[in-house]
Amino acid sequence: MEFQETHMKSILKISLSFYLATASIWGSESSIDTAGNWPQWRGPDANGVATKSDPPVSWSETENIKWKVELPGKGSSSPIVWGKYVFVTSAVPTGKTPENPKPASTEGRGRSVPVSEQKFVVIALNREDGSILWQKSVRQEVPHEGTHPTGTWASNSAVTDGQHIYAYFGSRGLYCLDFDGNLIWEKDFGEMTKIRAFGEGSSPALHADRVFVLWDHEGPSFLFALDKMTGNEIWKKSRDEGTSWSTPLVVETESGKQVITSATNRARSYSFADGSLIWECSGLTRNVIPSPVAEDGIVFLMSGFRGNALFAVRLADAQGNVDGTESILWTASQDTPYAPSPLLYNEILYFLKSNNGILSAFGAKTGERFYGPQRLEGIGNVYSSPVGAAGRVYISDREGKTLVIRHGPEFEILASNALDDGFDASPAIVADQIFMRGHQSLYCIARK
pLDDT digits over 207-223, tens only? Answer: 999 999 999 999 999 99
253: in domain: yes
pLDDT band with cut points at 50, 70 and 90 for residue 102: low
What integer pLDDT is reported at residue 439 of this predicted model?
97
What integer pLDDT is reported at residue 303 of this predicted model?
98
Residue 100 has pLDDT above 80, yes or no: no
Sequence letter at residue 413: I
323: in domain: yes
Question: What range defines the domain where residue 64 resides?
Answer: 33-446
pLDDT band with cut points at 50, 70 and 90 for residue 17: very low
Residue 125 has pLDDT above 60, yes or no: yes
418: in domain: yes
187: in domain: yes
Q: For residue 245, is it left (φ>0), alpha (ψ between -120 and 50) or beta?
A: alpha
Residues 6 or more apart whose Cβ sits within 8 Å of residue 37: 44, 81, 82, 83, 162, 430
pLDDT band with cut points at 50, 70 and 90 for residue 97: confident
User: What is the C-alpha to C-alpha distance for residues 264 and 224, in angstroms, rounded to an integer?
Assistant: 18
176: in domain: yes
95: in domain: yes
What integer pLDDT is reported at residue 112 of this predicted model?
63
Phi then psi dihedrals of residue 18, to 5 deg: -65, -40
Q: Are 67 and 130 in contact (CB under 8 A)?
A: yes
Residue 117 has pLDDT above 60, yes or no: yes
Percent of residues, the chain, with pLDDT higher than 70: 89
Residue 13 has pLDDT above 70, yes or no: no
Q: For residue 123, is it left (φ>0), alpha (ψ between -120 and 50) or beta?
A: beta
What integer pLDDT is reported at residue 115 of this predicted model?
74
Residue 5 has pLDDT above 90, yes or no: no
Q: Which secondary-structure segment (H or E) carries 258?
A: strand 256-261
Cβ-based neighbour number of residue 356 at 10 Å: 20
User: What is the C-alpha to C-alpha distance for residues 77 and 170, in angstroms, rounded to an integer?
Assistant: 12
Phi then psi dihedrals of residue 298, to 5 deg: -125, 130
Residue 445 has pLDDT above 50, yes or no: yes
Q: What is the pLDDT of residues 158-202, one digit of tens each?
A: 999 999 999 999 999 999 999 999 999 999 999 999 999 999 999
18: in domain: no
pLDDT band with cut points at 50, 70 and 90 for residue 26: very low
pLDDT band with cut points at 50, 70 and 90 for residue 36: confident
What integer pLDDT is reported at residue 188 of this predicted model?
97
From residue 131, alpha-carbon distances to 118, 124, 298, 425 in Å are 23, 9, 41, 20
Mean pLDDT of the chain: 91
From residue 280, alpha-carbon distances to 65, 263, 289 in Å are 45, 11, 18
pLDDT band with cut points at 50, 70 and 90 for residue 114: confident
pLDDT band with cut points at 50, 70 and 90 for residue 111: low
What integer pLDDT is reported at residue 431 of this predicted model?
95
Domain at 202, CATH number: 2.130.10.10
User: What is the C-alpha to C-alpha distance for residues 420 and 438, in angstroms, rounded to an integer?
Assistant: 9
What integer pLDDT is reported at residue 101 of this predicted model?
60
Say how many domains are in the chain. 1
Torsional sign, CA 103, 104, 107, 110: negative
Q: What is the mean pLDDT of residues 85-97?
A: 94
b/e code 58-80 from CB counts within 10 Å (16+ = b): ebeeeebbbbbbebebbbbbbbb
Polymer length of the chain: 448
Q: Are 40 and 203 in contact (CB under 8 A)?
A: yes
What dihedral angle (degrees, nearest 10) is formed by the CA atoms of 106, 110, 115, 117? -110
User: What is the C-alpha to C-alpha distance for residues 277 and 259, in angstroms, rounded to an integer?
Assistant: 10
Q: What is the pLDDT of residues 369-403, one digit of tens each?
A: 999 999 999 999 999 999 999 999 999 999 999 99
User: What is the C-alpha to C-alpha distance for residues 435 and 78, in angstroms, rounded to an integer?
Assistant: 9
What integer pLDDT is reported at residue 448 of this predicted model?
84
What integer pLDDT is reported at residue 321 of this predicted model?
98
179: in domain: yes
